[in-house]
C-alpha cells in the first residue's frame, strides 16, 4: 500500500509521468484496429447471438426441481428437439429455465414432459410460454432512441459545462469507441444478446461519462492555472492531468469491477446462475473499456483537436521562449 501511495503521489506531483498524450498516435492506431475487429467479429460469426426476446421462441420454467444442473435441461432438450437451439439457466434455488427456438404444440408438450422427467418433478410444475420477436424489437428501438438522446444531451451539456465543443466532441468520440469495442467483445464471447445486455450497454455509458468528467475537469484546471502558464506547454498540462487522475480512475474501476466480476465469474461460471450473466458481462467489459478509453482516447483526442488553435500555439511559443531565457540566465 505504501508503494501504491508513493506511486500516486509521484504521479500527482509530476515526479513520475506516462506519455498518454505523446503516444496518442499509437493509442489511436490500436483503437482503430479494435474498432475494425469489433465490426468484423459479428460479420464473421454470422451476427450476434440473439436471445429469444429478439428472435422469438418458447420458454419453459421448471419449478421444484431436484437437480440444478443446466446440462440436464440441455440434454433433455437435445433428445426431444435435436434440430433446435436450447439454453438452460438456473433461475432460483429450485427453479430452472429453458429457452428454445419456436416449437410446434406437439414439440412443446414433448419437451415439457421430458423436462419434468429429467428434473424429477411433476409435469404441472413446468410452465410454457411463447415469446414473439416483436417485444425484443421494441426494446431495441427504444434503446436506440435512448442512445441517440443520451449522446445529444452529453454533447450539449459537456459543451456548456466545459465551455468548449472540442471537449464535448472528444467525450462523444470516446463513448462511441466504448460501445463498438464492448459490442465486439460481447459478440466474440458468444453470449446471448438479451434486454438485460442492452441495459448493460446503456449503463456503461454513464460510467464512462463519469470518468471522463473527472479527467476533463482536471485538464481544465491545469490549463487555466496561472501558476503553470509559462511553466508547461499545453500538451504537458493535459498529460499531467491524465497522470494526476490515473490512480483515481484505476481505483474507481476496481471498486466497480469487483461486484460485477463476482456476479460474472462466481455466480455465472461457478454456480451456474445465468440470469445475470449477460448483464454482468456487458458491465464488466464496458467498465474496463471505458476506463481505457478515457485515458488513451478521449484525453489525447481533446489535445489533438486543440493543438492547432491559435491560443495553444501562442502558449507553447511563450513557454519555449521562457525556457530559453531561463536557460540563458543559468548559463
Could you give the strand order of the β-sheet that contains 95-100, starting from the edge strand earlier in sequence? 86-92, 95-100, 57-63, 126-131
Q: Which three cell numbers stand for residue 108?
A: 412443446
For residue range 192-243, list pLDDT tens digits in order: 788 778 888 888 888 888 889 999 999 999 988 877 777 889 999 999 999 9
Q: How far apart are CA 255 and CA 244, in angstroms?
A: 19
The domain locations on the chain are 18-47+135-330, 57-131
Q: Is residue 293 over pLDDT 60? A: yes
Higher pLDDT, 55 or 26: 26
Q: What mean pLDDT is predicted for residues 16-22?
A: 91
Mean pLDDT of 122-126: 90
24 has pLDDT over 90: yes
Q: Is the dihedral of CA 42, 146, 150, 199 positive or negative?
A: negative
| Alpha-helical regions (H) of 45-164 | 52-55, 70-80, 105-118, 133-162
Please identify which residue in the block is written with the cell numbers 482516447. 297
| pLDDT, tens digit, 9 for 90 and up, residues 76-102 | 999 999 888 888 887 777 888 888 888
Q: Domain spanning 18-47+135-330 has what CATH number? A: 1.20.1640.10
Give one word for 54, left, alpha or beta, with left for phi > 0 and alpha for psi -120 to 50: alpha
Q: CB–CB of 82/136 below 8 Å?
A: no
> Phi/psi zone of residue 93: left (φ > 0), alpha (ψ -120 to 50 degrees), beta?
alpha
Residue 270 banded pLDDT, cuts 50, 70, 90:
low
CATH number for region 57-131: 3.30.70
pLDDT for 306 = 93
Backbone angles phi, psi at 206, to 5 degrees: -65, -40
3-state secondary structure of 164: coil
Q: Where are the alpha helices (DSSP H) in 163-194?
A: 165-189
- Give the mean pLDDT of 138-157: 85
Q: Distances from the Cα of 246 to the Cαs of 7, 16, 20, 295, in angstroms?
A: 10, 12, 11, 8
Contact 126, 60 (CB under 8 A): yes
Q: How far is the C-alpha of 173 from the C-alpha of 193, rounded, in Å?
A: 24
Amino acid at each position: 500500500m505504501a508503494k501504491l501511495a508513493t506511486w500516486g503521489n509521484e504521479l500527482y506531483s509530476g515526479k513520475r509521468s506516462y506519455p498518454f498524450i505523446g503516444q496518442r498516435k499509437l493509442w489511436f492506431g490500436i483503437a482503430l484496429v479494435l474498432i475494425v475487429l469489433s465490426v468484423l467479429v459479428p460479420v464473421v460469426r454470422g451476427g450476434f447471438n440473439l436471445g429469444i426476446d429478439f428472435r422469438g421462441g418458447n420458454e419453459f420454467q421448471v419449478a421444484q426441481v431436484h437437480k440444478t444442473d443446466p446440462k440436464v435441461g440441455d440434454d433433455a432438450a437435445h433428445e426431444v428437439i435435436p434440430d433446435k437451439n436450447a439454453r438452460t439457466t438456473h433461475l432460483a434455488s429450485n427453479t430452472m429455465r429453458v429457452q428454445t427456438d419456436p416449437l410446434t404444440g406437439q414439440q412443446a408438450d414433448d419437451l415439457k414432459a421430458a423436462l419434468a422427467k429429467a428434473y424429477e418433478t411433476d409435469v404441472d410444475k413446468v410452465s410454457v410460454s411463447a415469446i414473439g420477436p416483436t417485444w425484443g424489437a421494441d426494446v431495441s428501438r427504444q434503446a436506440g432512441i435512448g442512445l441517440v438522446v443520451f449522446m445529444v444531451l452529453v454533447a450539449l451539456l459537456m459543451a456548456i459545462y466545459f465551455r468548449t465543443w472540442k471537449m464535448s466532441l472528444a467525450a462523444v468520440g470516446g463513448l462511441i469507441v466504448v460501445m463498438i469495442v464492448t459490442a465486439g467483445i460481447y459478440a466474440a464471447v458468444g453470449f446471448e444478446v438479451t434486454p438485460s445486455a442492452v441495459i448493460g450497454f446503456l449503463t456503461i455509458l454513464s460510467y464512462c461519462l463519469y470518468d471522463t468528467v473527472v479527467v476533463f475537469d482536471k485538464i481544465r484546471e491545469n490549463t487555466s492555472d496561472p501558476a503553470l502558464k509559462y511553466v508547461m506547454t499545453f500538451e504537458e498540462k493535459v498529460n499531467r492531468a491524465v497522470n494526476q487522475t490515473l490512480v483515481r480512475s484505476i481505483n474507481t474501476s476496481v471498486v466497480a469491477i469487483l461486484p460485477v466480476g463476482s456476479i460474472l465469474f462466481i455466480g455465472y461460471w461457478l454456480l451456474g446462475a445465468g440470469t445475470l450473466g449477460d448483464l454482468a458481462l456487458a458491465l464488466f467489459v464496458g467498465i474496463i473499456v471505458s476506463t481505457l478509453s478515457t485515458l488513451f482516447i478521449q484525453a489525447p483526442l481533446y489535445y489533438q483537436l486543440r493543438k492547432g488553435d491559435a491560443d495553444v500555439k501562442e502558449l507553447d511559443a511563450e513557454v519555449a521562449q521562457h525556457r530559453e531565457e531561463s536557460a540563458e540566465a543559468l548559463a
